[in-house]
Amino acid sequence: MDNKIVKVENKNELVKKCEQQINYFVNISKAMIKFNSYNSIFAYETGTFKTLRQIKNELGADAINAHIRFYLIDLAMFLNIKNQINENQISFTAELITQEFGQLNLADITLFFRKMKLGDYGEVFNRLDGQVILLNLKEYFNERLRVGAEDSDNKHSKTKDDKFNRVVERLFGADFKEKKHEYELSKLKLNTPEEI
């Protein structure tokens, strides 16, 4: 008799976990539509979005792989090419994406598939398979790292300049802004073509 109660409890837990997964991905999918550039993702604070690896650890590999399979099927339907990716390839590609690119989040995955549809990685000629997708995702990942590094450098430089300006302004008072403006004008005058 206890076994039947345990089975029902396990079944209820399973149903609850499935509902939790469905709700999570439905809400995420609705929110992800707005991501159309790297900067739209970087605008959010680090840690806002869970990585594929974090989702896998919380909800299980089947949950995150199912969500990525959805993106893969959607892409295949969108491209409508002759040599389509098959169900086994879709499943294996989803697993490889989770394993090899686990540090990406669903905003990244959404943006990547959007870029695939827009042809940002070149036109897909009569072939869509796991290798094509994974090579393009690798290109996405490298570009994301480059743009992220530039964004971080720009923010750091601006913060550093702002701190310097505040310190100088405290030291020199209200005259600082006027002096800075005069200095910048003098630099421009020194670089005029007549003087070179």
What are the CA-CA distances from residue 144 to residues 10, 43, 78, 161 (Å)? 42, 13, 24, 25
Specify whether the CB–CB gap between 82 and 128 falls below 8 A: no
6 — pLDDT class (breaks 50, 70, 90): very low
Q: Report the pLDDT value the prediction gives residue 139, as an integer from 0 to 100.
A: 96
How far apart (Å, rounded) are the C-alpha atoms in residues 141 and 101? 8
Chain segment 157-192, per-residue pLDDT in tens: 666 566 666 666 666 665 666 666 676 666 666 655
Overall pTM > 0.75: no
The single-letter code of the amino acid at 117 is K
Tell me the residue ranges of DSSP E strands in the chain. none
